[in-house]
Chains A and B, each alone.
Chain A
Amino acid sequence: MGEYFTLIIGAILVHNFVLSRILGICPFLGVSKKLSTALGMGGAVIFVMTLSGAATSLVNHLLLRGHGLEYLRTIVFILVIAALVQIVEVLLQRFSKPLYKALGIYLPLITTNCAVLGSAIICANDDYGIMKSTVFCGASGVGFALALLLFASVREKLELARVPKCLEGAAIALLTASILAMAFSGFAGLG
């Protein structure tokens, strides 16, 4: 139990995917202008990461490891994740209209996101079991969503602030992200 606890805390706070591993920066900057879209994206990332964590570790254990095919990891993982998200999207559209509307466009967007692939590869590198990788990937998704939501709420406030002209737009967003990352580095002592 204690092992899982440190794993989750580590994935969410200490080694946060966006702010300390610098993965998934594209959606972090792209969909953080409004809190509502950030919420949708965060939900979609948690969902896809958990599923892909389970699926890729299964594939890794059954097909790749022990057959000397570890070098095929990247391509096989991308293939599996992309197919998985496609299938899940169709199923969601059929069986859960509200969830599909909430995650909507974000689902296909993150099929080939580096954070999703990154979490799967970290699990494979560290040789986690299937259960452990699922938990780790889910927690990583939560960490991503947390960072995204924090950043989006800061940016919504920034809209109202008077920003120097030379720093408007992307510049102030990147500065804010760096300060947020510094704040998260304070968690380093935890893990």
Chain B
Amino acid sequence: MYPVLLLTILGVLLALAIGLVVRYFDAPEDAQGDAVRSLMPGANCGGCGFAGCNDYASALLRGEAKPGACHAMSAENLEKLCRLLGVAQEAVGEPLVAVVCCSGDDNHAVHRAFYNGVNDCLNAVLVAGGAKGCSYGCLGLGSCARVCPFGAIEIRPDHIAKIHPNLCRGCGKCVSICPRKVIKLVPRSVPVMVYCSSPNKFAMKKQFCSAACIGCRKCQKASGEDKIFINGFLASVNTEDPPDASIVEVCPAKCLRTICPPTAEAAESVQK
């Protein structure tokens, strides 16, 4: 009986000692560190290149990282962070938004096979490259939506991914996971994008998809040589010098569309 009692008492006493020491001598609060950490978006998306928000905050405090690396941070918090760290705000890059460059939903694109496997793009491409006829098209099985830390990607019932620009923070996780590489990161100032990624010839594209870019060059003629590039039979927007939003009207295939700008109300809800 005595040894059990001794061990119990010893355990309780030591636990009490640890508790008391922690209670009265715990490390003083790290005010700047806490302030920086509270400004982090907390999504742990890894878009900054560090292993989560906490790691990025410590790197910021050590001076090893710059405030602009976080795409998920709201403009307001970024300004606060720059002030806190004493860094000029000019060093910060322009915010980005991800765009799914494909219009091939079930109404427009043809499936060349019936895929009945695991409901995930990464699995679907393992089976002969996926069921969609166009090998540059969005499979619409939601690998990107599952990896998005902000819930900004919606998979439409007609099998295409739609990114909501007001929720997207441009971290780039979807870009790296998409097996078809149809998602692109573009600066938010770009008003329009070509919603097609296939450089194939017109006849070949039309075989699989009625919404594809047909390479007619109408947009290029309307906007000027350096605002729209044509690669093969695919138009692409020059993101450094983009055309106006009004250019969408000339596209006969309706695959040159605006990236819907965030409404003021939606932008507000994001910042909260």
Contacts and interface: CB of A to CB of B under 8 A. Distances in A.
Interface size of A as a range: 10 to 19
Contacts of B28: 94
B127 interface: no
Contacts of A95: 25
A93 B22 CA distance: 11
B26 A69 contact: no
Interface stretch (B2-10, B50-58, B163-171, B234-242): B2-10
A90 B22 contact: yes
B59 interface: no
Contacts of A182: none
B17 A87 contact: yes
Contact of B6 (A69, A83, A86): A69
A93 B3 CA distance: 35
A174 interface: no
B261 interface: no
Contact of B11 (A79, A86, A94): A79
B18 A94 contact: no
B14 A79 contact: yes
Interface of B: 2-3, 6-7, 10-11, 14-15, 17-18, 21-22, 25-28
A94 B25 contact: yes
Contacts of A90: 18, 21-22, 25-27
Given A93-B27, A94-B28, A87 B21 contact: yes
Interface string A47-81: 00000000000000001000101001001100110
Interface of A: 63, 67, 69, 72, 75-76, 79-80, 83, 86-87, 90-91, 93-95
B25 A91 contact: yes
A76 B27 contact: no
Contacts of B2: 67, 69
B17 A94 contact: no
Nearest to A84: B14
A86 B18 contact: yes
Nearest to A94: B25
A42 to B, nearest CB: 24
Contacts of A63: 6, 10
For the residues of A in contact with B, the DSSP-based class is: helix
Q: Which of A69, A72, A94 has the most CB of B within 10 A?
A: A94
A80 to B, nearest CB: 7
A49 to B, nearest CB: 19
Contacts of B18: 83, 86-87, 90
A156 B230 CA distance: 55
B27 A94 contact: yes
B107 to A, nearest CB: 57
Contact of B7 (A67, A76, A86, A94): A76
Contacts of A91: 21, 25
B105 to A, nearest CB: 52
B95 to A, nearest CB: 36
A67 B21 CA distance: 30
Contact of B14 (A69, A75, A80, A93): A80
B14 A83 contact: yes
Contacts of B26: 90, 93-94
A91 B18 CA distance: 10
Contact of B17 (A67, A72, A83, A93): A83
A90 B26 CA distance: 6
A18 B226 CA distance: 71
Nearest to B14: A83
Nearest to B9: A63
16 contacts: A63-B6, A63-B10, A69-B2, A72-B3, A72-B6, A72-B7, A76-B7, A79-B11, A86-B18, A90-B22, A90-B26, A91-B25, A94-B25, A94-B26, A94-B27, A95-B25
A83 B10 CA distance: 10
A89 to B, nearest CB: 9
A90 B24 CA distance: 10
